[in-house]
A and B are shown apart, each in its own frame.
Chain A
């Protein structure tokens, strides 16, 4: 445990480093002039660096959430366990207070010398992403017709093979749409990170509001909104690439439950 003086110094150092990295743009520069200037895109506070920060964090959160949620939900659904927890999760799935959770973790993280990010925002976004992936995986496998599973069992498939080769394959479309919903929510929520001492694409809105500079605010809105839209499109493309045609056709007949 660090002494209190050290904690104070860490806080000052962390705040000071952020203070230096504020984006400043003269107020008379318009959005297009700003957006199409090469200097806007390069450097430590440039769009490319911020975009990289945001994309890496969102991708990491989504990947960890998938790695945790999908196996747990698939195994529980296969064993027909934890039904109550799943209905309970539905009611909180849309209500994870990401901002409050991240804010609560900030002092805790600084005290341990982990800085303003990524620990607090990562944890908060992870909690947000876990729920839709878990729920979709669970319901997708739980609601499969008994026929294919019984058939596989009769053919002598082991329980593990039933789960991985039959249930998982048939449910893959819904599992995938859970991942899509989670990823889009993560990308849409990530900009709050800039307001909790972090960076990422939210920084332009933060600095723009702080300096009363509408060019920066508009730039930030365009970038955040653009990334959210692109994320949606990437998942549409991924769905075409990853899922077999038969499964896609099947899911279209059954209807999508997640969106």
Chain B
């Protein structure tokens, strides 16, 4: 029985509140497992997405003419219908493989990540770059010790947006039997028992908000001058 199909035996009880708290307490193990799976899928997709985007951004920054085709390709991937993409990969890797879910999820992050990484490096003031060259830094050393730290705010913003949207997208992966909290949504729908559905959907939204806040804090910690500059100017 796959998640999307609806019940052959209808277990809809006469009283079926939107949420039943006893269930949440009793089935907490199952919920926790779904949360862990949700986070795992998100992180795998983000790591893969970041590796690929860093590579693409490096190419785009080194050879400017590749910027247009790279943006066009990543935008195209971004607009692919999620249901179709997950279903397309299911027979390639098999329903039980994590990669079926992780590859499309990583694909959807590329546009946001590449755009932000490139914007971050392009925003480095030329004067700073010249100063680094003038001090005799090698190209590699300048990129790692000067350009990259200055690009961090942009990159973190990209990671933040991409991660939050991935957390939302993971639920859709439940159509191929993956998808963490999305699985709870489907198991609730299948039995016309709303508690798992409500729990799965609201937890995935809460998770997205928490992740957003956490990455925001990490960004401020990595690039504290942002905050200082903001408070100085106000």
List the interface of chain A (C-beta within 8 A of B). Answer: 4-5, 7-8, 11-12, 15-16, 18-19, 22, 91-92, 94-101, 103-104, 106-108, 111, 184-185, 187-189, 191-192, 194-197, 202, 205-212, 214, 217, 220-221, 224-225, 228, 232, 259
Chain A hits for B167, CB < 8 A: 95, 97
Alpha-carbon distance between A19 and B9 when the two chains are bound, in angstroms: 10
Whether A8 touches B15, Cβ cut-off 8 Å, given contacts A220-B87, A225-B84, is yes
Q: In the complex, which of the residues A98, A196, A208, A259 contacts B87, with contact meaning CB atoms closer than 8 Å? A: A208
B14 within 8 A of A: yes
Alpha-carbon distance between A12 and B212 when the two chains are bound, in angstroms: 39
B171:A8 contact, CB within 8 angstroms: no
B168:A228 contact, CB within 8 angstroms: no
Alpha-carbon distance between A18 and B4 when the two chains are bound, in angstroms: 12
Closest chain-B Cβ to A165's Cβ sits at a distance in Å of 33
A195:B4 contact, CB within 8 angstroms: yes
Alpha-carbon distance between A250 and B13 when the two chains are bound, in angstroms: 61
B204 within 8 A of A: yes
Alpha-carbon distance between A209 and B2 when the two chains are bound, in angstroms: 7
A107:B208 contact, CB within 8 angstroms: no
Chain A hits for B14, CB < 8 A: 4-5, 7-8
B80:A209 contact, CB within 8 angstroms: no
A95:B16 contact, CB within 8 angstroms: no
- How would you classify the secondary structure of chain B's contact residues: helix, strand, loop or mixed? helix
Most buried by B among A95, A108, A188, A212: A95
Whether A106 touches B82, Cβ cut-off 8 Å, given contacts A8-B15, A197-B6, is no
Q: In the complex, which of the residues B10, B79, B80, B189 contacts A16, with contact meaning CB atoms closer than 8 Å? A: B10
Residue in A closest to B161 when the chains form the complex, CB atoms: A94
Alpha-carbon distance between A191 and B171 when the two chains are bound, in angstroms: 14
Closest chain-A Cβ to B160's Cβ sits at a distance in Å of 7
Whether A100 touches B12, Cβ cut-off 8 Å, given contacts A106-B189, A205-B84, is no
Chain B hits for A196, CB < 8 A: 189
A8:B80 contact, CB within 8 angstroms: no
- How would you classify the secondary structure of chain A's contact residues: helix, strand, loop or mixed? helix
B112:A220 contact, CB within 8 angstroms: no
Closest 4 CB pairs of A and B: A210-B5, A97-B168, A191-B83, A95-B164
Per-residue contact bits, chain B 87-101, to A (CB 8 Å; 1 contact, 0 not): 110110000000000
B34 within 8 A of A: no
Segment at the A interface, from B55-63, B195-203, B223-231: B195-203
A103:B6 contact, CB within 8 angstroms: no
Chain A hits for B160, CB < 8 A: 91
Q: In the complex, which of the residues B4, B91, B201 contacts A103, with contact meaning CB atoms closer than 8 Å? A: B201
Q: In the complex, which of the residues A95, A195, A220 contacts B186, with contact meaning CB atoms closer than 8 Å? A: A195
Chain A to chain B contacts (Cβ below 8 Å), 23 pairs: A4-B15, A7-B16, A8-B14, A11-B12, A16-B10, A19-B7, A94-B161, A94-B164, A95-B212, A97-B205, A99-B172, A100-B185, A101-B201, A106-B194, A192-B83, A192-B175, A206-B4, A220-B84, A221-B88, A224-B81, A224-B84, A225-B81, A228-B81
Closest chain-B Cβ to A96's Cβ sits at a distance in Å of 7
Most buried by A among B14, B15, B167: B14
Chain A hits for B88, CB < 8 A: 221
Closest chain-B Cβ to A118's Cβ sits at a distance in Å of 17
Chain A hits for B162, CB < 8 A: 94
B165 within 8 A of A: yes
A188:B79 contact, CB within 8 angstroms: yes
Per-residue contact bits, chain B 129-169, to A (CB 8 Å; 1 contact, 0 not): 00000000000000000000000000001001110110111
A194:B4 contact, CB within 8 angstroms: yes
B12:A8 contact, CB within 8 angstroms: yes
Chain B hits for A259, CB < 8 A: 71, 75
Alpha-carbon distance between A189 and B171 when the two chains are bound, in angstroms: 13
Chain B hits for A19, CB < 8 A: 6-8
Closest chain-B Cβ to A209's Cβ sits at a distance in Å of 5
Residue in B closest to A207 when the chains form the complex, CB atoms: B5
A195:B83 contact, CB within 8 angstroms: yes
Chain A hits for B181, CB < 8 A: 100
Whether A12 touches B81, Cβ cut-off 8 Å, given contacts A100-B185, A107-B194, A214-B91, is no
Alpha-carbon distance between A97 and B164 when the two chains are bound, in angstroms: 9
Q: In the complex, which of the residues B6, B16, B71, B157 contacts A8, with contact meaning CB atoms closer than 8 Å? A: B16
